[in-house]
A = this chain, B = another copy of it.
Amino acid sequence: VSSSASDSPRRRAPRGTLNQQVIVAAAIKIIETHGLDALSTRGLARALDVRQTALYTHFPDKEAILRAVAMELFARFKMPDSAASDGEMLRALIRAYFRLLIDNPVLVQLASLPESVSETEARVFEALYGCLHRLGIDHRNAAALVASLSRYVLGSATMYPARHKWEEEPSLWERHRDQLATLPPERYPAIHDVLQNLPTLTQEEVFEYGLEALLNAVDAAGGTQAGG
């Protein structure tokens, strides 16, 4: 029963095996492969080939690990290149933030963590307010618009059909659509009217539709730069 192959647990992990970086990397790997619910301190320790209590030398608790994971994923944000106009920059910023959330859906799940605002979020907000200021939007409208946009992006990312590797079940969006289709047509004629006459409407199209609607107010208030 002694160690024979490399896949058998070693007797004792050497000194420098663990640090915050490798723990976070292993946690992200588990989350991306099997989902946030599959991340346990025991499983994480197993992946790192140490006992679970070794983790507590590097993090005070599991929540601290999750905060570090969120920080690491937020750092993946790609700030868009400066655009032709502030209106275009505004759109590019929102799209990039949306992209970050749908590429790393666990960030949505971790949104309720008591966690300081990430560097990424601060930079995005700063850039958004800067654009709106240059477009001549007053403080009140700028704050209301940025707040509305955040809510819209969060809701859109939450409903986005992230094809999780680890689960068979379809996303919120697809389930919703499928179930609406099974409702009795005689009681829900308007729903069926729309569903039957609308074969294709992607999440991206929906997102762009709402984004443009929310930004129309800006184009109206600040001088628009015509079509681009």
**B-contacting residues of A (Cβ < 8 Å)?**
111-112, 114, 116-117, 122, 125-130, 133, 139-145, 147-156, 158-159, 169, 172, 175-176, 179-180, 183, 187-191, 193-194, 197-198, 201, 205-207, 209-210, 213-214, 216-217
Contact = CB atoms under 8 A, between A and B. Distances in A.
A212 to B, nearest CB: 8
A210 B154 CA distance: 14
A89 B126 CA distance: 37
A210 B148 contact: yes
A147 B201 contact: yes
How many chain copies?
A: 2
A5 B14 CA distance: 58
A180 B129 CA distance: 12
Given A122-B180, A129-B190, A151 B143 contact: no
A contact face: mostly helix, strand, loop, or mixed: helix
Contact of A151 (B183, B193, B210, B217): B210
B156 A151 contact: yes
Contacts of A154: 154-155, 158-159
A143 B222 CA distance: 29
Given A152-B148, A158-B158, A191-B129, A213 B209 contact: no
Contact of A152 (B155, B193, B216): B155
Given A114-B169, A158-B155, A206 B148 contact: yes
Contacts of A147: 201, 206, 209-210
Contacts of A141: 209
A105 B206 CA distance: 25
Contact of A205 (B144, B153, B205): B144
6 contacts: A122-B188, A126-B187, A129-B190, A150-B159, A151-B158, A154-B154
A183 B205 CA distance: 35
Contacts of A205: 144
